[in-house]
Chains A and B, each alone.
Chain A
Amino acid sequence: MNSVNPIKRGYLYLEAWFNYSFGPEWNPLYHLGTLTFFFFWIVLVSGIYLFIFFDTSLGGAYASVEYLTHEQWYLGGVMRSLHRYASDAAIMTILLHMFREFALDRYRGFRWYSWVTGVPTLWFVITLGITGYWLVWDELGLYIAVLSSLLMDALPIVSGSMASNFLEGQLTDRFFTLMGFLHLLGQPVLLVFVLWIHVKRLSHVEISAPRGLAIGSFLALLALSLASPAVSHAPADLRKVPAELNLDWFYLNIYPLLDTLTAGQTWMITIGITFFLMLMPWLPRKKTGEAAKVHLDECNGCGQCAVDCPFDAIRVQARTDNARWEFEVAVDDGLCAACGICVGSCHSSNPFRRSNKSLETGIDMPQFPIDEVRTRTGEALAELQGDNTVLVIGCEHALNVEQFKTQNVAVLNLICTGMMPPTLVEYALKQGADGVFVTGCRKGDCYYRYGNVWMDKRFEGLRKPVLRERADRSRIRVYRAAETDQKKLLKELADFQRHLADTSPEKTGANRA
Chain B
Amino acid sequence: MLSPKRLVLQIFNYALFMALVWYFSFAPPYIRLGADEAMITLSISHAGELVADCRQLSPEELAKLPPNMRLATSCDRERSPVDLEISLDGDSVFRTTAEPPGLYKDQGVDIYHSIKVPTGTKQMLVKMNDNIRVKGPTFTHEQEITLEPAQLLTIQFSTSTGQFVVK
Binding site for B on A (CB under 8 A): 18, 20-23, 28, 84-85, 88-89, 92, 143, 150, 153, 160-161, 163-164, 167-168, 212, 216-217, 219-221, 223-224, 228, 230, 238-250, 256, 259
Contacts and interface: CB of A to CB of B under 8 A. Distances in A.
A85 B110 CA distance: 39
Contacts of B26: 246-248
Given A23-B6, A241-B39, A244-B32, A85 B21 contact: yes
A114 to B, nearest CB: 24
7 pairs of A and B residues whose beta carbons are closest in the complex: A21-B9, A220-B14, A246-B26, A161-B110, A243-B33, A164-B43, A241-B39
B75 interface: no
Contacts of B15: 220
B25 interface: yes
Interface string B18-45: 1011101111011111110111010101
B152 A161 contact: no
22 contacts: A21-B12, A23-B6, A28-B13, A88-B25, A92-B20, A161-B45, A163-B43, A163-B112, A164-B45, A167-B43, A216-B10, A223-B18, A224-B18, A230-B25, A238-B152, A239-B167, A240-B151, A241-B38, A246-B27, A247-B30, A248-B24, A249-B24
Nearest to A168: B167
Contacts of B17: 89, 92, 220
Question: Chain A interface mostly helix, strand, loop or mixed?
Answer: helix
A429 B10 CA distance: 41
Given A216-B10, A250-B24, A160 B30 contact: no
Contacts of A88: 21, 24-25
Contact of A22 (B13, B25, B39, B154): B13
Question: Chain B interface mostly helix, strand, loop or mixed?
Answer: mixed
Nearest to B43: A164
B13 A243 contact: no
A150 B113 CA distance: 9
B155 to A, nearest CB: 10
B51 to A, nearest CB: 21
A167 B154 contact: yes
B22 A164 contact: no
B22 A85 contact: yes
A251 to B, nearest CB: 9
Given A239-B152, A241-B39, A18 B13 contact: yes
B154 A168 contact: yes
A216 B10 CA distance: 8
A85 B22 CA distance: 7
Most buried by A among B6, B18, B25, B27: B25
Contacts of B111: 161
B6 A21 contact: yes
A246 B29 contact: yes
A224 B32 contact: no
Nearest to B156: A167
Contact of B149 (A23, A238, A243): A243
A168 B43 CA distance: 11
B132 interface: no
Contact of B30 (A23, A153, A238, A245): A245
Contact of A21 (B13, B18, B154): B13
A46 to B, nearest CB: 15
B150 interface: yes
A167 B151 contact: no
B21 A164 contact: no
A250 B112 contact: no
Contacts of B18: 85, 89, 220-221, 223-224
Contact of B152 (A21, A241, A248): A241
A244 B33 CA distance: 7
Contacts of A243: 31-35, 37, 149-150
Given A21-B10, A167-B41, A244 B22 contact: no
B35 to A, nearest CB: 7
A14 to B, nearest CB: 11
Given A245-B29, A247-B30, 9 more contacts: A28-B13, A85-B22, A89-B18, A164-B45, A164-B110, A239-B152, A241-B33, A241-B39, A246-B27
A42 to B, nearest CB: 12
A247 to B, nearest CB: 5
A20 B3 CA distance: 12
Interface string B110-151: 111000000000000000000000000000000000000111
B150 A241 contact: yes
A89 B2 CA distance: 24
A350 to B, nearest CB: 40
Contacts of A143: 32
Contacts of A216: 10, 14
A2 to B, nearest CB: 29
A278 B21 CA distance: 26
Nearest to B6: A21
Contacts of B35: 243
Contacts of B151: 239-241
A161 B32 contact: no
Contacts of A160: 45, 110
A248 B45 contact: no
Contacts of A223: 18
Contact of A240 (B21, B34, B152, B156): B152
A168 B30 CA distance: 24
B78 to A, nearest CB: 18
A238 B43 CA distance: 14
Contacts of A245: 29-30, 32
B32 A259 contact: yes
A508 to B, nearest CB: 35
A241 B18 CA distance: 31
Contacts of B156: 164, 167
Contacts of A92: 17, 20-21
A20 B10 CA distance: 10
Contacts of B33: 241-243
Interface in B73-114: 110-112
Nearest to B26: A246
Nearest to A263: B112
Contacts of B25: 84-85, 88, 230, 248-250
